Structure 1
Amino acid sequence: MAATVPEDRMTRAEMIAVGICIFINMLDGFDVLVISFAGPAITRAWNLTPPELGLLFSSGLAGMMIGSLFLAPLADRIGRRPVVLISLTLVSAGMLASSVSNGLYVLAATRVISGLGIGAMLAGLTATVAEYTPEARRALAVSLLQTAYPVGAIVGGMISAILIADFGWRSVFVVGGLLPALLIPVVWFALPESLAFLSSRQTPNSLARTNAARRRLGRAELAQLPPPPVSTGKQAGSVLALLTPEYKRRTLLITVTYVMVMMTLYFVLSWTPKIVVDAGLTEAKGISASVLVNIGGVVGASIFWILAVRFREVRTLRVYMLLCMAGLILFGLVDMHSAMLWVAAFIMGCFLHGTTIGLYTLLPRLYPAEVRSTGAGWAIGVGRLGAIFGPAIAGWLFSAGFGAGIVYALFALPVAFAFIAVSRIDDRPATAGEAAQSAQ
């Protein structure tokens, strides 16, 4: 089995590395949702129809899908650190290009570029944090990583409301492009390569690279590498490795779950500010509703980790999914001019974000180190199909005259399908040598 962090305690350098990953994911939360914050202002400036706005919402998600499927697996071939650097470069370039775009399709294309980087980074960061952290703290570390996503959306929403009011919608893309650029030198100097990745490669210079990384992380050097992982018969970084008998069932079930949950999540994140504005409230209140959804997500994710430690991820996910469906229906039914709007937004975000973050917490357990980033990239990448179609389908439904109550209720159905799929996942940790038994 490829070792992750064999010692029971993290070194200071490892804590810093995990902190960097958490901060990067917080920026991703802002970068992904910046289009929903700016959406009402762009709609007004360019006179967009709901399907055109849905295209803008979906374009970044399409880039995330491509990045997760085709760039994230590189982390199992060339390393976690290089992929994070490439991803930050793509995000920064795409966001800055968005700030100077002059039309719908140009803006959509620049959102695809940003999405490429975000999609690759989400998978790579999940694997990296899991591999920097001892088993006893892994669920907490991955939960903190994914909780940073809605935190970024909260902070980004507050900043966006001020920037859009004072400087226009383009300003939020400028800020979203400069921050990832500033992180590139931080990652270059302060984020060593994952020890689990280096151990899984077993190349002639792996021992030297491993010891160099261990020195940077404050670990003692090794006289020799641990035994290589049992081969799956497929090359690391190959999606085919996920479809071997050892991992096939897990791969199919977690992929279906991601598609369904992402469909609903990105409908809610993309359209909620616009729905509130269309109900007659101000753009600032539309952004505030989105912020409350994400605040609920932070609370829900924190409670999820506490429950998952005692009851395991799959059992906790099932409860969260049932409550998520109820929260969606509640939000669609409330009077948006009443105080219940804010309560419903918080409840919906608590269990919807909590469900999503729970999936990210579960994911590293399903694959060993040599295919972990590929497995994460596949599930997250194919899951983006749901993220792409969710906002677009909502645009068509609203254009056809369906009200918010019906649309939010309809988007509870994908969560029901996810509930069925996740209930059939065996969440015992997978290793190359043990997966055949644990996947049956």
Structure 2
Amino acid sequence: MVQASTQAVSHYLDEIGWGKYHWSIFWQCMLSNFNVQLRNLSIAYFAAIYAIEHGASNTQRGLMGTLFQLGCFIGSYFWGYLSDHQGRAKSIKKISIIFIFVYLVWIFADNLFVILILCFASGFGGTGEMVINPVLFKEFCPTKNFNFVTKLTSGFSIGGIFLALCAISIEIIGSNYLSDWSFMAAMVLFSHILMSIIRIGLDETPAFLASKARYAQAEELLAKIAKTNNKSPLSITIYSAESASEQQIEKAPIRIKAIFSKRYVKSTIFLSVIYFMTFFGSFSLNLFMPRFLGQFSLAVRYIIILIQQVSGIPGAFLASYLINTKLGRKYTLMLSMSITSLAIYFFIFIEHIVLVILVIMMFALVNLASFGSLFTLSPEIYPAEIRNSAMGFFFTWSRIGSSTSPFIGGMILDLENGKEIALALFASGYLIASLCAIFIEETRPPLKNALLIDEV
């Protein structure tokens, strides 16, 4: 059965332990998160540059963000479904190739219609990495190292730091040979070319191979991991049932209704609400942050955004620690989202630059902690054969939230007192998400329920 084979994979990974092979996967996934944030924030910078050069309104800027998120919405379940059928590694390699072509076109784009198409394409491809990345990493990981998923979220901050530094250098120094727009796109393109080269040798996850009854390949991969980690050779046998049983597993369909079975329905519903609410606020906060900092010069705004990105890194490591304490995944998620909501509310009432920086630092720290704990908890609830379909479903809801919020936020910001109304709306979303976390099952101690599968 699939349950037995995936449990066997987990057992052998625990026996092999963390080592050189896992560090290689860790840094690949870290760079993947780096690229995710480059893409997400580059949309905000492109919108800001387009507004300066063409006098675009907040509504037009919001439309760019909405098209980006619409692409994410369509891509979320597509990539989750594809990776559950074709494999995590095969799917994520395709994403790298897509972005090389997308950002080549970005460099030369100057027409609004073309830009909107590129925003959609960026979202469609980019959401796949967010869906696949945490699952891919965890399916290579020994159980006791699952908290490293939260550390991976520091890649988001590092990507934001890099892009903010590019923006600051353009604003202060200028780019001599390329336009501001093209220079920014070229930086993102270079990172994706590097990622594509690194991923050439990426293996499929052993849990996916086992879930597809490709037991010999899974055993060979586990032996490779053990050898790379300088572990003594293991006698690895994942599954030894008759071929008839193997064929039954191979033909078993992956159905969306599986994540709504009696076993998972409550977690699925409330996690969907959490993803919707957090991305509803998070994307627009990043997209319109230069607008929220409108009382400062453009250079100062970029410096504050740089501070924001730097401040997020400790949040990833804080969450990595807290999820293995008595707080666990669930209450770390609740606490970090509650404080994030509070920080956004405070932002409504402050104007002094010192207070603005302090509140933004607090927001960045706890916001990244909330994403780290969310990305750790979500895939642990579901078994390997429907895990990426579940994540794809959640990211579909996240993109419904983040595709509607930029357009709504843009219209609100064009109103009198729009800044205060928009911030209150985004803060309320985080608060609702925090309350929904009450109904999510706890998965600490590690993998309490992650590898169990009932009838679906």
What SS is found at the alignment partner of 2:286? Answer: helix
1:194 aligns to 2:205 (yes or no): yes
**C-alpha distance in structure 2 between counterparts of 1:175 and 1:39, whole Å:** 17
Q: Percent identity?
A: 18
- Structure 2: runs of 5 or more not aligned: 228-232
Q: Cα gap change, 1:46/1:238 in structure 2, threshold over 3 Å: closer, same or farther?
A: farther
**C-alpha distance in structure 2 between counterparts of 1:235 and 1:56, whole Å:** 41
Q: CA deviation at 1:433?
A: 4.0
Preserved contact between residue 72 and residue 124 of structure 2 (Cα < 8 Å): yes
- Scaled by the length of structure 2, the TM-score of the pair is 0.88
Query: Which deviates more, 240-249 or 207-216?
Result: 207-216
Number of residue pairs matched by the alignment = 429
Q: CA deviation at 1:120?
A: 0.9
**C-alpha distance in structure 1 between counterparts of 2:370 and 2:128, whole Å:** 21
**C-alpha distance in structure 2 between counterparts of 1:421 and 1:151, whole Å:** 29
Aligned residue among 382, 396, 407 for 2:422 = 407
Aligned to 1:327: 343
What SS is found at the alignment partner of 1:339? Answer: helix
**C-alpha distance in structure 1 between counterparts of 2:53 and 2:355, whole Å:** 31
Aligned to 2:27: 19
- Pairs within 5 Å for 1:312-351: 312-335=328-351, 337-351=352-366
Q: CA deviation at 1:222?
A: 5.6
What SS is found at the alignment partner of 2:14? Answer: coil
- Cα offsets for 1:203-237 (capped at 9, x unmatched): xxx23322442344235476542378999999555
- Cα offsets for 1:64-104 (capped at 9, x unmatched): 22221112221111111111111111222222222222222
1:378 aligns to 2:389 (yes or no): no
Q: Cα gap change, 1:104/1:291 in structure 2, threshold over 3 Å: closer, same or farther?
A: same
| One-letter amino acid of the structure 2 residue matched with residue 197 of structure 1 | F
Aligned to 2:276: 259
Preserved contact between residue 215 and residue 239 of structure 2 (Cα < 8 Å): no
Q: Cα gap change, 1:233/1:210 in structure 2, threshold over 3 Å: closer, same or farther?
A: closer
- Pairs within 5 Å for 1:212-291: 212-219=220-227, 220=233, 224-226=237-239, 235=252, 237-276=254-293, 278-279=294-295, 281-291=296-306
Aligned to 2:153: 146
Q: Cα gap change, 1:227/1:408 in structure 2, threshold over 3 Å: closer, same or farther?
A: farther
Aligned to 1:45: 53
Q: CA deviation at 1:353?
A: 2.4
Query: Which deviates more, 398-407 or 370-379?
Result: 398-407
**C-alpha distance in structure 1 between counterparts of 2:198 and 2:159, whole Å:** 19
Preserved contact between residue 18 and residue 145 of structure 2 (Cα < 8 Å): no
**C-alpha distance in structure 2 between counterparts of 1:362 and 1:432, whole Å:** 13
Q: Cα gap change, 1:283/1:227 in structure 2, threshold over 3 Å: closer, same or farther?
A: farther
Aligned to 2:440: 425
Preserved contact between residue 58 and residue 388 of structure 1 (Cα < 8 Å): yes
Aligned residue among 115, 120, 145 for 1:137 = 145
Q: CA deviation at 1:196?
A: 0.8
Query: Which deviates more, 157-166 or 170-179?
Result: 157-166
- Pairs within 5 Å for 1:61-76: 61-76=69-84
**C-alpha distance in structure 2 between counterparts of 1:322 and 1:108, whole Å:** 34
Give the CA RMSD over aligned residues: 2.4
**C-alpha distance in structure 1 between counterparts of 2:346 and 2:454, whole Å:** 41
- Scaled by the length of structure 1, the TM-score of the pair is 0.91
1:158 aligns to 2:165 (yes or no): yes
Aligned residue among 97, 100, 105 for 1:97 = 105
**C-alpha distance in structure 2 between counterparts of 1:414 and 1:223, whole Å:** 48
Preserved contact between residue 81 and residue 388 of structure 2 (Cα < 8 Å): yes
What SS is found at the alignment partner of 2:449? Answer: coil
- Cα offsets for 1:12-33 (capped at 9, x unmatched): 1222122111112112111211
- Cα offsets for 1:383-414 (capped at 9, x unmatched): 11111112221101011223423321221111
1:302 aligns to 2:317 (yes or no): yes
| One-letter amino acid of the structure 1 residue matched with residue 347 of structure 2 | F
Aligned to 1:57: 65
What SS is found at the alignment partner of 1:378? Answer: helix
Aligned residue among 96, 104, 117 for 1:109 = 117
- Cα offsets for 1:96-133 (capped at 9, x unmatched): 22222222221121121122221111111110111111
Preserved contact between residue 89 and residue 117 of structure 1 (Cα < 8 Å): no
**C-alpha distance in structure 2 between counterparts of 1:240 and 1:339, whole Å:** 50
**C-alpha distance in structure 1 between counterparts of 2:160 and 2:384, whole Å:** 30
Runs of 4+ in structure 1 over 6 Å off: 227-234
- Cα offsets for 1:398-438 (capped at 9, x unmatched): 112234233212211111211221111112343464557xx
Aligned to 2:230: none
Q: CA deviation at 1:284?
A: 2.2
**C-alpha distance in structure 2 between counterparts of 1:36 and 1:201, whole Å:** 40
Q: CA deviation at 1:6?
A: 3.5
- Structure 1: runs of 5 or more not aligned: none
1:179 aligns to 2:187 (yes or no): no
What SS is found at the alignment partner of 1:132? Answer: coil
